[in-house]
Amino acid sequence: MELTVHDLENDEKKLDEVMAIVSDDLSEPYSIFTYRYFVRNWPQLCLRAANPETVAAVLCKADGPSGYIAMLVVRSGFRRFGIGTQLISASIDRMRTLGCAEVFLEAEVTNKMALSLYDKLGFLRDVCFFNYYLNGADAYKLSLRF
């Protein structure tokens, strides 16, 4: 599949595209302010894959030695082609460059596709947070130390 990976950049049209695919597939509702928070503060850690319209995105941040993956989504129809893995691997490489020694995230305990992706990349399940999401779902905290 012909896809290119770009920095998301502080481009409101691109942010709207990312918001649309995230709101289709993630249960948590995020406002535009959340997207701007990530893109304006950590532009190098916010990526999108496009063909040429946006089909996948990852938004992350870095705080000292800790990286954090806030959102990852690949549009249905573009899944199982390695795009999610590619975006996470690129984000981790960039976190390393910024001096991070670990990365973590939360994922719903029933999200087999995401848990399988992160298992393959070597992430460990540290703790389970009950009733973590607004929809009442439980979450695993996952982490990877570099």
Contact residues for ligand COA, defined by CB under 6 A: 25-26, 72-74, 79-85, 107, 111-114, 116-117, 120
Of 123, 25, 28, which is closest to residue 115 (Cα–Cα)?
A: 123
Least separation in angstroms between CB 33 and ligand COA: 20
Which residues are bridge partners to 124 per DSSP? 143
- Nearer to ligand COA (CB atom), residue 10 or residue 50: 50
Cα-based distances in Å from 97 to 10, 15, 17, 64, 92: 21, 25, 28, 12, 9
- Nearer to ligand COA (CB atom), residue 52 or residue 77: 77
Least separation in angstroms between CB 1 and ligand COA: 10
Least separation in angstroms between CB 59 and ligand COA: 11
Q: How far apart are CA 84 and CA 41, in angstroms?
A: 22
